[in-house]
A and B are shown apart, each in its own frame.
Chain A
Amino acid sequence: MANGTGSPLRDPGDRSVVIVEDDVLIAEDLAWMCRDFDLSVLETFYVGEGTAERILELAPRYVLMDVRLGGAIDGVEVARLVHDEAPSIRVVFVTGSNEPPTIQRINEDHPHRILIKPIAPQDLREAVEG
């Protein structure tokens, strides 16, 4: 990648995050929680289309990823595109879709963590630390 995404020389103190969530209210709440945990929210995306490319440009440390995004491309698909190009970006799934087939698909994407809605703030904190 031109901007060096996925480089192993990542700053260990990097606490940047991108949020992908089609529900604006929940996205806003997640952004607040992230700020509470000293993460810097680079951007929030509300659809799946074109999001993977933008995430690769932004190269955050973490991505909070919803599965259902209302369009043709879902969160699992976006995560796969991101992981293929930049495996060092940690994808934390925040989803209500915990039916076994979806969980199986998510697990194929090397998720950093899977959090099931409604999530506890402490679960999110644990996911983005260490």
Chain B
Amino acid sequence: MFALWLIMAELTASPQAVPGLGTRGTSIALALAVCGIGGVVILLGWIGRIDGVTRILPGFVAMVPATAGMLVVLGLSLLLWWYRHRDGRHRSTDRASMILAAIAAAWAVAELVAMVTSGRDLGSFAFTLTPGAAMAPGTAILSLLAAGCLLLVGRCKARVPFQVAATAGLLLALVALLGYLFDAEALYEVFVFSAMALHTALAFALLFVALLLAFPDDGWVALLLAEGRGSRSARRTLLLTTLSPVILCLIALWLTEAGIFNENFRLSLLAILLIAKADAAVLWMAHVENRVEREQAAALREVQRASEDRALLLREVYHRVKNNLQQISALLRFEARRIDDPRLNESYAAMERRIRSIGLVHQMLIASHAPSEVELAQFLGQLARSLATSYGLPERGIRLDVRVDPLVVHLDVAISLGLLSNELVVNAIEHAFPEDRGGRVVLTCSDDDDRLVLAIEDDGVGWTGGAFDGPGGSTGSLLIRTMTRQLEGRATISPGAEGAGTLIRIEMPSDIDERKRYG
């Protein structure tokens, strides 16, 4: 009843393995089957005296009560472990399960020791719990392997020994099962398998599968159960690859028994067939790998093409932006040429300069490595050269120097910094050097640890205006104010380093570039 309740509880959870059951459900069902086989053999075979239950077919050896009891203990141990982990989240050890496993291990060792000391006279061996018959040597070995696995199950550090023991146990049990399929008598001639019953071999095979499913994320089991294409294909062909050698060998056996060819020729035939099968599998793998490689190459080409298209498209856009800016400049100049007022003409010229400072960013972009980033030093240097030509600074004896840290900024930040620098430089040129006065203007942009500082210093006549953030003022002041706000900065005005001239500092957060880029 307990076991039934447990499996009912377990059936509701866990994914994959057997459709509808999940790895956990499958493992529990198999453990229950192992207990069931042991229980039925004890109850019906030995207590109920039904010979068909103990030996399946007349002429086969019987499952001794000791083995049946061992199966119940091992199965129960695994079920207890699963009961402990019914929430399915963590994997650890369980004390009750370990006690049962330890009992099973001690029992199996005792059987093996008794076997060695008492020779092959299994019938007279009195140590076993049920009088009359002892376990087969193979059964004791399988029991020991299973008990070992049950002691290790849940221990993260013991995953490799667990995998090795469970896989070895499964293979050993399968050898015994196949032995029954081909020739039971021949099987009994091998010492290890002598006197192992058919359903003992079956029960152990099931038990080891159940154990392997306790760690479905490990080793070859994980590979078999994984989601990938290779694992799906492995699951599809597993039955065929497993059964085909068995069927081949069976056919070869029948053909020999029918006298069609002798036993040695059978070996060469089998060898060739198995070689052909293994080579076919290798070639199939090669085919699959080639296909995957071709597909990857095609996908990569597609991505590269898309990336080139994108770069081309961006260049086209930047090109058009520059053309449009040139058109806007042209429109402004058409208007300006109709006007005689020098103040208005100066306004138009200032507008053109601002448009050009935006255009300059786009010039930089098209030559940039990253499609939307600008090298600030190169950009501000170019901007300063353009302004120097525009205002005829060399002729006026004004030197404009630019010192910018090696910074790469996003185009939005570059445009704001460009407009800001443009106004700061123009402001210095127009106000610091009246009446043919010469001098020096230095534009710096430096990346201090916690802030980005744009500064302009001149050795001119000194600051006479008010703060930028006051009401009214020129378009230049307005732009300095708005661009400073755009860059989340703060402007300070003070006399220059040697007490003369003017120093204007705009302090911005040093991560302004990232913020404008992703914000």
Contacts and interface: CB of A to CB of B under 8 A. Distances in A.
Nearest to B318: A96
B327 A25 contact: yes
Interface string A98-122: 1110010000000000001111111
Contacts of B323: 23, 26, 96, 117
A53 interface: no
Interface in A1-33: 23, 25-26, 28-29, 32-33
B59 to A, nearest CB: 88
A89 B363 CA distance: 27
Contacts of B333: 29, 32-33, 121
A126 B389 contact: yes
B393 to A, nearest CB: 11
Given A96-B322, A118-B356, A26 B330 contact: yes
Interface string B357-380: 001000100110000000000000
A99 B366 contact: yes
Contacts of B325: 117-118
B111 to A, nearest CB: 83
B367 A120 contact: no
A117 B330 contact: no
Interface in B22-76: none
B319 to A, nearest CB: 5
Nearest to B355: A118
B468 to A, nearest CB: 26
B510 interface: no
Contacts of A33: 333
Contacts of B389: 120, 122-123, 126
Interface centre among A29, A68, A97 (most CB of B within 10 A): A29
A113 to B, nearest CB: 13
Contacts of A118: 322, 325-326, 328-329, 352, 355-356, 359
A119 to B, nearest CB: 7
B90 interface: no
Nearest to B357: A118
B337 interface: yes
B494 to A, nearest CB: 32
Interface residues of B, number: 28
A96 B319 contact: yes
A33 B352 CA distance: 14
Contacts of A25: 327, 330-331
Given A96-B323, A118-B325, A29 B367 contact: no
B273 to A, nearest CB: 62
Contacts of B355: 118
B334 A29 contact: yes
B320 to A, nearest CB: 8
Nearest to A96: B322
A26 B366 contact: no
A25 B323 CA distance: 11
A101 B483 CA distance: 34
Contacts of B356: 118-120
Interface centre among A28, A116, A117, A123 (most CB of B within 10 A): A117
Nearest to B359: A118
A58 B333 CA distance: 28
Interface centre among B329, B330, B386 (most CB of A within 10 A): B330
Interface in B364-415: 366-367, 386, 389-390, 392
23 contacts: A23-B326, A25-B327, A26-B327, A28-B330, A29-B333, A32-B334, A96-B318, A96-B323, A97-B319, A97-B366, A98-B366, A99-B315, A99-B366, A99-B367, A117-B359, A118-B322, A118-B359, A119-B356, A120-B353, A120-B356, A120-B389, A122-B389, A122-B390
Given A32-B333, A122-B389, 4 more contacts: A23-B326, A68-B319, A96-B319, A123-B389
